[in-house]
Amino acid sequence: MNIVVCGKVIPASSVTIEIDPNTKRMVRKGVPHELDPAAASAVEEALRLTEKHGGTVALVTMGISDATIGIRNALAMGVTSAVHILDDAVAGSDTLGTAKILAAAIKKQPFDLVICATESSDSYSGIVPGQIAQLLGVPPMTFAKEILIEGDRIAIKRQSESGYDLVESTLPALVAVSSGINEPRYPQLKGIMAAKKKEIKVYTAADLGLPPDQVGETGAREKVLTVGRPPKRQAGKVVVDAGEGGKQIADFLAEIKVI
Ligand SMILES: Cc1cc2nc3c(=O)[nH]c(=O)nc-3n(C[C@H](O)[C@H](O)[C@H](O)COP(=O)(O)OP(=O)(O)OC[C@H]3O[C@@H](n4cnc5c(N)ncnc54)[C@H](O)[C@@H]3O)c2cc1C
């Protein structure tokens, strides 16, 4: 089974995220990076599936040159090979541009299953996996808390408010795993050494057949108009109970239409 994992490499959790006021983009250059913990769970799930059913795991990531550290981490965990889309022309891509780039890179290799995380830990839009599935023409199976494969059939336990729904499909398919699906393994020394010899293919948008008007800032249909801090929370209302505290709370809840 050939599995492709889409994994983002993001500013490390120790970094305080800054937004450039001119470009309104996250400042990514010059800060330490790491494999998104959500992506590490997607990698872990792919590795467990291939350990059980055989096959390969390829990581696909779009990111700046600093993303190499996260790619090496995935390779050290046991991923077979990696694709890095590294190109100034893709900077400023919106979610659809990102999905077009990732889908084009996935199509360059045989795949039975694509695994994404439900949402990234830096931008959290949660839109990209569905867009990739649409572009690849495969069913999106989202919020998976467990993946079961038998032959060419796949089933997921799809997290719901009351428990889970069982969702089935034939392969190929795309699964977006929910956070907490597993505890990703730490790379061991053997894996770290082996990772140094593993291949990282580097592609530009042009290599993927994507013209400039489809990707990057030029191709972006979403525009960030303004970025700001949320307004400070107002101080709460203090109710001093002098015998009518309960009534005052009930009146307050009625006033704000909670009851
Ligand atoms: C106008 C605009 C300009 C932007 N400019 C930039 C920019 O210059 N540089 C920049 O980095 N971001 C930029 N962004 C943010 C960028 O669009 C998002 O980071 C990207 O679209 C993915 O969104 P997300 O992380 O919220 O995806 P989600 O939908 O939350 O991601 C879910 C999953 O999709 C997969 N995935 C998502 N992104 C990647 C990736 N890059 N590589 C591999 N797998 C991935 C992963 O499995 C991830 O867990 C911009 C956004 C907008 C709206």
Residue located nearest, by CA, to atom 13 of ligand 1: 92
Residue 203: count other Cβ atoms within 10 Å of its Cβ. Answer: 20
Q: How many CA atoms lie within 13 A of 97 on its CB side?
A: 23
71 lies in which domain range?
Answer: 2-219
pLDDT reported for residue 23: 87
Q: 120 CB less than 6 Å from ligand 1?
A: yes
| pLDDT tens-digit readout, 191-217 | 999 999 999 999 999 999 999 899 999
Q: Please tell me the distance between residue 98's alpha carbon and the centre of ligand 1 in angstroms.
A: 6
CATH number for position 37: 3.40.50.620
| pLDDT tens-digit readout, 139-175 | 999 999 999 999 999 999 999 999 999 999 999 999 9
Within a domain: residue 48? yes
pTM attached to this predicted model:
0.89
| pLDDT tens-digit readout, 11-34 | 999 988 888 888 888 888 889 999
Within a domain: residue 243? no
Q: How many domains does the chain have?
A: 1
Within a domain: residue 225? no
Cα first-last separation, the chain: 54
Within a domain: residue 52? yes
Within a domain: residue 244? no
Within a domain: residue 121? yes
For residue 141, the SS3 value is strand
Residue located nearest, by CA, to atom 41 of ligand 1: 62
d(CA 22, CA 226): 10
Within a domain: residue 156? yes
Within a domain: residue 226? no
How many residues are there in the chain?
Answer: 259
